[in-house]
A and B are shown apart, each in its own frame.
Chain A
Amino acid sequence: MPAPGLILIPAYNEAQSLPGVLCRVRTAAQQLGLDVLVVDDGSRDATASLARAAGVKCVSHVYNEGYAVALQTGMKFALCYGYRFVAILDADGQHDPGEIAGLLEVQRREEADVVVGSRYLTGAGYRATAARRLGMLLFSRLSSWLTGLHITDSTSGFKVLSERAMAMLALESLGDFHSEALLFFSMSGLKIVEAPITVAERKAGRSMYSVAGSLYYPFKTLLLLLVVGLKTRLWRRQELRA
């Protein structure tokens, strides 16, 4: 009998941190009866072979397509193999796989389509640079204002998605899957809740945000928010006409 859910780990050049992450993820997966999938996003190191050697499922992009596309590939995989929910973790070891159970419990209790693991819900410290903290705060406030929900951490990569959310994400790859994705889900009528998580410091590898990427991020996200708003309104109009 196939597992009901999938732990999805998008990874790009994470050979250093992946073995340790997979060791912890496999323990959590066994306890919860879940499968594990690593989406190797065209890594130039041994990310894919390490994932396969660790005995987890692994799909590999030929080229580096970016985080959102890697997530979308994971959603397509999950839908293709009949998984009912997906828990997304970063491959850098910052997320604690032991907290997946808590997020799944919140999803079940709240009947939510999207559970966002928030670093700021309990006030427990996550240390980031002042500029980054300011960016996170601004986009969380913006997401709250746009969705009408209380969102404390719109840039979290630790999420649980229902089958409905997976199907939507399989159709649309959205930026970095942050504020724009929350707006997209919210405008599409999906239920979003937050659950507290703890985040450790990155031990190896490089963040997907370079200095140039961090400067580009706010402009890209603002434009994406506008596009998502326009697109969702267009879909609604088309649905009404149909």
Chain B
Amino acid sequence: MGESTAAARNAPWWLTDPGRWAAEKAALRAAGATVRRLPGTSNPTTGVMQVSVGWPEVGRRLRLRVTFPPEYPWFPPEVTTDDTSIRRHHNPKSGALCLLADPDAMWHPGTLLADLLTAQLPRLLAANELPLVDAAALEHHEAEGARTFVGTGQPVSLLVDPDHSSLPTQTTSGWVHVGLHGPYDNLMIAVGRIADESGMCVAGQDWGPPFGQHQWLPWLRLDRSLTSADTPARLWDHARTTLPDMARKDGIVLLRFRDEIGYRTDGWAWLAIYGGTAPTWILAEPAGPRTWAARIPEYTHLARAHIVLIGTGSLGATIATALACAGLGELTLVDGDRVRAATICRQTPLSTTGLPKTAAVAHACYDHQPGIVIHEVRAQIGAVGEAHDLAATIPASDLVIDAAANPALSRWLATTCEPDTDLITAAGTWGAWGGSIVTYPTRGGGCWACLELHRADHTLPWPPASPEPAATDGCSAPTFPGAHHDLADLAHHAVRVAATRLTGDTATWADVTTLSLRTPDGQRIPPTWSADDLPVHPACRRPHRDSLLTPAQSA
């Protein structure tokens, strides 16, 4: 980059593009507005410019302060006002107006400030003035709670499950049992059981893992909404005065206050105040199974399901955490290995080295979904002397996923799951060049032995596999070359198939899904999937159930 180009890029936008600033002024004046650069606010070093705009409204002139960012016009300007008659879509702390629901996505660099105000300001004002039924057509249906406008900038979060927030009206203060979790330089405080001043629990439910520590903190009800006059110090003084025996001088007090908790819906919200010489506050974030499920509504049925996952290596760990993310209710993890530092390139992280793999994966699952019920079976299935009760666990589950990459185990599982428990077998190939996912009972009626016979005949496709020798370390068991992100393609599809299967849908996915990430000679290709049903092989001597497909589907 030449020096002149770099200098031009560092110059403020109104100098590099003077025509744009001229166009902005002309458009504002054409719209009947007044515009004036605020003295001392056009800083060439920061690239920020501020202007005062008098915007014509019916019967008045609305005073606006507009701040253009240094990257203008690629990003939109911020428009603020001190006009307190505007209550919705107006940040009470900063004064910013929400002219665009998603400013960066909805802003176009060809838009002038005057265009933005002409198009959006009347809508914003109307949403403030019209009855709800009319205003609802003009705005996004999002709650504008206090949390929307107040941020602490600190790595501390207060979590509240909205399903646990109903309290008896006569209970105005007491104790709350919070869960604490802070694996890094952050801290999460989760509101659990809530008790009155006598210590009797009146609502709520404690958070399980990963919240490893719990503590009782005092809480107090504030029978009003927050106002712009409220500050952490003021609320802290109020709490200390109201609860002199409960609130420690440098402790934490939780406040329950009125707020908009849903679109134009009033309710109770929480905030925590850190005391001490300079009190600060953290407004609660709603979080819990229902909150998460609302973001992935297709998968709410997983909350009632129990999956047994055998093998928690690269495929299994990815499958487990994806299932936890998607809201699975209960998971049995089966693996007899421990995490080795040598394999963290495709499994759980270094911090889990030495743990049983099931425990390492369980921690990751809890982190993705507090509340998931996890059972660990730390056993190598099929090895002499390994105690487990899988043959009894499997019939009580809804689905089994075999990610152990062990043909002997796959055959045993397929037989053990027959005839009533669904089974998904996921396996990659050497080098993670591809892999396959097989689902039983099959649509085509074939069994695991039919699969092997069809593969032997090549009547089912073979995924590509690297011919490279194994990557070994010392004289221990050889491992394989292959990246986590390649196997993750396979793992995530296994989760898709499992989630579909748990709805009772046996028609969407074919019996055998084969993934190719390479050509047979090793050239990389975009992930390519083939789908085949698994019919009964004529040479198979095992018993077979009827096809899951209806005659119409078979046709």
Interaction A to B:
no
